[in-house]
């Protein structure tokens, strides 16, 4: 472990305690493989599983582990038409487990996320029985304001590059508070707590994941 990882590891117990106050569960791992192994041990066989767009979810090996397991995967990438996509979104809302990352997270246990269409955040807020949030240590910030700054000037411009949308931040790398057709910043959601205790589970790992 390098010193950044060590600093994160000693902060992890207090983050988990803060999450508990907010009726969310927190888990800490030194490596992605340990995290994936733990999540697989928590997921019932044959569970229906959906996920939102997330580089962290893929990079940590979670998607490939689910694909190799005995689960009912609800994969929107398989939709061929707009109607099929809509039907898959409907099934995602009813999933046993929904996977996502968070654009930022505070040390006191709040999640900060921004979405274009809002399907991912709709599932975070309501619908799937359980939500599994995978968060690399690079996503942690000291305040909600710092989290919003991170989403607008780091996560969203990087996502726009991935999606190749024509927005001001695609050209400059910085948020121009746009309202352009390709804008991926329609919904800004701060998750302060879970109404259903334990429904939202946060898996923190001392590795850099996503952006």
Q: Which residues bind to ligand SF4, rule: CB under 6 A?
A: 152, 156-157, 160, 167-169, 175-178, 183-185
Judged on CB neighbours under 10 Å (0-12, 13-18, 19+), 23 is middle
Burial 170-182 (b: 16+ CB within 10 A, else e): beeeebeeeeeee
Residue 101 is encoded by which pair of tokens?
A: 């990352």
SS3 category, 78: helix
Q: From the CB of residue 72, how many other CB atoms can be counted at a distance below 10 Å?
A: 12
- Measured from the CB atom, the residue of 5 and 153 that comes closer to ligand SF4 is 153
- Least distance CB 192 / ligand SF4 (angstroms): 23
Q: Which is nearer to ligand SF4, 146 or 178 (CB)?
A: 178
Q: What is the smallest separation between the CB atom of 75 and ligand SF4, expressed in angstroms?
A: 26
Given the complex with ligand SF4, which of 72 and 186 has the nearer CB atom? Answer: 186
What is the nearest approach in angstroms of ligand SF4 to the Cβ of residue 77? 22
What are the two backbone dihedrals, phi and then psi, of residue 97, each rounded to the nearest 5 degrees? -140, 135
Q: How far is the CB of 186 from ligand SF4 (least distance, A)?
A: 9
Nearer to ligand SF4, 72 or 172 (CB): 172
- Find all residues with CB under 8 Å of 33, minimum gap 6, and list them: 61
Nearer to ligand SF4, 66 or 121 (CB): 121
- Give the single-character DSSP code of 205: E
Instruction: Report whether 48 contacts 91 (CB < 8 A).
Output: yes
* Distance of closest approach, residue 104 Cβ to ligand SF4, in angstroms: 13
Distance (Å, whole) CA 52 – CA 186? 16
Residue 76 DSSP label: G
Cβ 158 to ligand SF4 shortest distance, Å = 10
Q: Which is nearer to ligand SF4, 91 or 166 (CB)?
A: 166
């Amino acid at each position: 472990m390098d010193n950044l990882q060590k600093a994160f590891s000693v902060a992890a117990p207090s983050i988990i305690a803060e999450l508990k106050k907010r009726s969310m569960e927190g888990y800490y791992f030194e490596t992605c493989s340990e995290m994936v192994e733990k999540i697989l041990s928590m997921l019932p066989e044959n569970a229906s599983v959906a996920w939102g767009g997330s580089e962290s979810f893929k990079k940590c090996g979670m998607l490939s582990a689910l694909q190799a397991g005995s689960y009912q995967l609800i994969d929107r990438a398989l939709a061929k038409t707009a109607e099929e996509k809509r039907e898959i979104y409907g099934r995602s809302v009813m999933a046993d487990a929904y996977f996502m990352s968070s654009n930022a997270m505070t040390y006191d246990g709040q999640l900060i996320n921004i979405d274009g269409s809002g399907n991912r955040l709709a599932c975070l807020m309501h619908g799937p029985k359980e939500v599994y949030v995978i968060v690399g240590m690079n996503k942690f910030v000291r305040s909600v304001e710092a989290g919003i700054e991170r989403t607008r000037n780091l996560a969203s411009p990087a996502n726009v590059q991935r999606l190749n949308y024509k927005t001001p931040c695609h050209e400059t790398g910085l948020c121009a508070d746009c309202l352009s057709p390709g804008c991926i910043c329609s919904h800004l959601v701060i998750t302060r707590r879970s109404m259903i205790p334990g429904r939202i589970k946060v898996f923190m790992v001392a590795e850099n994941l996503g952006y």
